[in-house]
A and B are shown apart, each in its own frame.
Chain A
Amino acid sequence: GAGVSQTPSNKVTEKGKYVELRCDPISGHTALYWYRQSLGQGPEFLIYFQGTGAADDSGLPNDRFFAVRPEGSVSTLKIQRTERGDSAMYLCASSLSGTSGKDEQFFGPGTRLTVL
């Protein structure tokens, strides 16, 4: 079956622009996660959805970042007024239920965002 997919695979934008990054989780997975990975570092948690609601958005760096999952499947990460420091790989993952210690998280290939 299909894994987690993310589009676009690469996004180059100019400072100050708005971008949207899309994640299609594995069908039937209720939990969805966004992570951000800077060069040479491990991924860092941004936000977690359980169904349609953001159960934990404590990792979002500031109010320029926002994510939605209106129908409980596809999610969009939105970044307003992009800054050069937002340049990173944005990874999406999904899991069956999000229950602690029980679920493997399956990762998508990521979107590499470059802000010029």
Chain B
Amino acid sequence: SQQGEEDPQALSIQEGENATMNCSYKTSINNLQWYRQNSGRGLVHLILIRSNEREKHSGRLRVTLDTSKKSSSLLITASRAADTASYFCATDSSYKLIFGSGTRLLVRP
């Protein structure tokens, strides 16, 4: 069963704009991770935020975590056409990852 739910399911923006994706989950977690997937292939790890962290940055990525609301957001700033992909959040309550259903991002050039 899926733990997280991403919102929106699909997002279309113009190159240069910011993209925000949200993730909600159900149970307590040790950490939350965001992954990217191009064209139905393998997953690329983007960023991990631990349950005691509230915000984390990596390049053009900014992730927030609100454990009281059981939610996280991923912000991609100054988007590029190459950012077009599906983005998944995944929670890790033990050793296995539990993924949401993903947000499909389209960045129009």
Binding site for B on A (CB under 8 A): 4, 31, 33, 35, 37, 39-45, 48, 55-56, 59, 89, 91, 93, 98-101, 104-110, 112
Contact = CB atoms under 8 A, between A and B. Distances in A.
A41 B101 contact: yes
B94 A100 contact: yes
A28 B99 CA distance: 25
Contacts of B41: 109-110
Interface string B75-86: 000000000000
- Minimum-distance CB pairs A-B, first 7: A42-B99, A101-B30, A109-B42, A107-B43, A45-B96, A107-B42, A98-B95
Contacts of A98: 95
B92 interface: yes
A59 B2 CA distance: 12
A40 B48 contact: no
B102 A56 contact: no
Contacts, number: 73
Contacts of A39: 40
B45 interface: yes
B72 to A, nearest CB: 14
B95 A42 contact: no
Nearest to B50: A101
Contact of B31 (A55, A101, A107, A110): A101
Most chain B CB neighbours (cut-off 10 Å) among A31, A45, A48, A112: A45
Contact of A91 (B4, B31, B43, B98): B43
B95 A43 contact: no
Contacts of A89: 40
30 contacts: A33-B96, A35-B97, A41-B102, A42-B88, A42-B90, A42-B99, A42-B100, A43-B43, A43-B88, A43-B99, A44-B99, A45-B98, A48-B95, A48-B96, A56-B95, A56-B96, A89-B40, A100-B94, A100-B95, A101-B30, A101-B31, A104-B48, A105-B45, A105-B97, A107-B35, A107-B42, A107-B43, A109-B41, A110-B40, A110-B41
